[in-house]
Amino acid sequence: MLLNDRGQNYKSQRARWPAAGRHLLAHFDDHQVVVYMVQPADLAEYASTHGEFGESAAGDDGIVWWTPSVLAGAAICRQRKCCERVTLLAITMERISFEAILKKAASADFDPAVYPDEKAWRRAQVASAVRVSWRPDSEPDGRETSRYALHVGLLGKAAAHFSQGGWIRAITDASTLVDPIGALTGSAFDELMLPAQRHYLLDDTIARRIGLR
């Protein structure tokens, strides 16, 4: 089962990752994939126990955001811990569900490589309850990289479905990853163990839709 192994060495993984550009790196097997999200500690505790959130998991913007990047998720969690009690959650979902969500996505920001003009982009947003955004991935110490990680947002009925356990196979408290990652410096990164992150291949139609290039 995913997340049950002790992970892989960060240094050896980093050597295989691209240094720059948009890349979908994720922890997955033949059937399932793991994404990471940050939630208030009390809601995270409920979710990890019940396999659903019991209420809306959306943030102040009304969107449920998650990312396949464990380092991006950990960085967001450390940033928010400065002013609130939050927990990093690992959400396991079926790959078929993950790809079905991406197939319906619209870019959060105008991307001229995806849309011919801003009108087409706005129409795509109106027709979709899924948003995708590419943001700088993180080093273990929180520094931004030139490699970009995918972030996925769910709105409206999609957000409600997810909050009620839709698409979710398991919810795991991944907070034990956050403090050890943030406390490491220099050569200590060489000993860091992380869930294996490798290239997740998508068919060309989905890749173009989410701006993967």
10/14 Cα distance (integer angstroms):
6
* Mean pLDDT of all residues in 73-82: 88
For the chain, the distance separating the N- and C-terminal CA atoms, rounded to the nearest angstrom, is: 30
Q: Could you tell me which residues are beta bridge partners of residue 8?
A: 194
User: How do residues 8-37 score in pLDDT, each as one tens digit?
Assistant: 988 899 999 999 999 999 999 999 999 999
Question: In the structure, what pLDDT confidence band is assigned to residue 7 with cuts at 50, 70 and 90?
Answer: confident
Convert 19-44 into a string of H (helix), E (strand) and C (coil): CEEECCEEEECCCEEEEEEEEEHHHH
Q: Locate tokens 């927990």: which residue?
A: 87
Question: In the structure, what pLDDT confidence band is assigned to residue 81 with cuts at 50, 70 and 90?
Answer: confident
pLDDT at 117 > cutoff 90: yes
Q: Which sequence spans correspond to the domains of the chain?
A: 8-200
User: How do residues 155-199 score in pLDDT, each as one tens digit?
Assistant: 999 999 999 999 999 999 998 877 666 565 566 677 788 999 999
- The residue type at 30: D
Inter-CA distances, 94 with 16, 29, 30, Å: 25, 10, 9
pLDDT at 137 > cutoff 60: yes
Phi, psi angles (nearest 5°) of residue 14 = -60, -35
pTM above 0.85, yes or no: yes
Quote the pLDDT of residue 13. Answer: 94
